[in-house]
Amino acid sequence: MRPVSIVGTGRLPVQKSCDKSLREMGAAVVHLAMRDAEVTEVDALFLGNMLSDELQGQKHVGALIADEAGLRGIEALDVRAATATGAAALRLAYLAVASEQADLALAVGVERMSDGVPTSVLAKALDAEREVVNGATLIGQNAELMRLYRKKYHVPADAFVNFSLNAHNNAHNNPYALFKDKVVTREDILNSRVVSYPLRLFDCSPICDGAAAVLLAPTAQARSLSHHPVRILASGVATDRFRMSDRKDPLFLAASHHSALKAFRAANVHRDDIDFFELHDAFSIMACMILEAVGYASPGEGWRLAADMEISHAGKIPITTLGGLKARGHPIGATALYQACEIVSQLTGCAGPNSLISPEIAMMQSVGGVGTTVITHIFAL
């Protein structure tokens, strides 16, 4: 297969409510990513969006945004994997370039969650006939996981606080982060209201609007398009049993484990080679379980990486280095493209005051549903 690199990025600041329409948001980041690489044409656009069917009454979003962006005639397809949708768009753009079916392919994510009440729409990531019919929601199932985790591993009540604190600290110098100006203390987190016991408000990523895009090209041509191209070393997807209740151990995220293994193998790297990890901290418990599934901590010990601040820039495995889903925001279909843009900025030394010191290899992971689909990508300069 043909090696693939990122040669351009574009993103809008994450907002509670963006004053652009869905199509305008998409076209804006398409233009930013293309301008970044100084190209005026692309071959294909893969669009990630999860909620527009219901919230905007709009399907066929990829073609709509291609038209709005003035990209006449190109391939445009919609791709999805529930809450991992942005990473699915990245993967399919990667397949298009790797297979030589496209030389320049955009992965675009856009989500406007402010146009309605997304909770019941998000729940469609779960099993409509066997879970949602009984009242299941994403937040409820994550609360159940935290309850199970706390019970099984006897962790203290404040075990997860630093996931949120680290994310908010790291969002401060990220101009695209929803909570870039918010000062959050340990007490704010511990005293925040219970949303779904035992999940508190600060355990949960926010509802928001956002759009982001990356432009992919063959690695062999990347240097002619970008001063700082970033190689995609690997892309791996795995699924678990669809319903949490069908899994032998719901506290082990098998799809996170297996998609990371696939990616490590393809990239020929070990998890200890990863300099930072943009993971899917939609809920603090999910961040904790991902660290365990990928092997950075033993079962029941993931929270200690947070408690000991091994997840900070100076720690063993820095995560959510520019705010993560918690503090940058989680506009679903766009989230993984924000992660990819942030990884490019870190690897190329453009992350501002939040820059890591000379990182070389980065990993990102996106979770669809409650651990059902997990998509892992590995990047390097």
Nearest to a copy of itself of 189, 238 (CB atom): 238
Among 246, 270, 316, 350, binds a copy of itself (CB under 8 A): 246
* Minimum CB distance to a copy of itself, residue 321 (Å): 27
Burial degree of 77 (CB within 10 A; 0-12, 13-18, 19+): middle
Two tokens at 322? Answer: 């520019």
Is 238 a binder of a copy of itself (CB under 8 A)? yes
What are the residues facing 212 on neighbouring strands? 11, 109
Q: Does 381 bind a copy of itself (CB under 8 A)?
A: no
Residues binding a copy of itself: what is the number (CB under 8 A)?
A: 64
Which residue's structure tokens are 């000379």? Answer: 358
Q: How far is the C-alpha of 339 from the C-alpha of 337, rounded, in Å?
A: 5
Q: Applying CB under 8 A, does 21 fall inside the site for a copy of itself?
A: yes
- Binding residues among 115-134 for a copy of itself as defined by CB under 8 A: 124-129, 132
| Phi and psi, residue 345, nearest 5° | -65, -40
114 binds a copy of itself (CB under 8 A): no
Q: Could you give the string, one character per residue 140-179, with x where binding to a copy of itself holds by CB under 8 A and - elsewhere?
A: ----------------------------------------
Q: What are 209's strand-pairing partners? A: 15, 112
DSSP state of 239: E
Residue 252's closest CA among 102, 152, 327? 152
Contact 277, 317 (CB under 8 A): yes
Peptide bond into 156 cis (omega under 30): no
Q: Is 227 in the site for a copy of itself (CB under 8 A)?
A: no
Tokens of 352: 């501002």
Select from 103, 188, 192, 242 the one that contacts a copy of itself (CB under 8 A). 242
Tell me the closest approach of the beta carbon of residue 30 to a copy of itself, in angstroms: 13
Residues at the site binding a copy of itself, with contacts judged by CB under 8 A = 1-2, 21, 23, 44, 50, 53-54, 56-60, 62-64, 66-68, 72-82, 88, 91-92, 94-96, 98-101, 124-129, 132, 235-243, 246, 254-255, 258, 368-369, 372-373
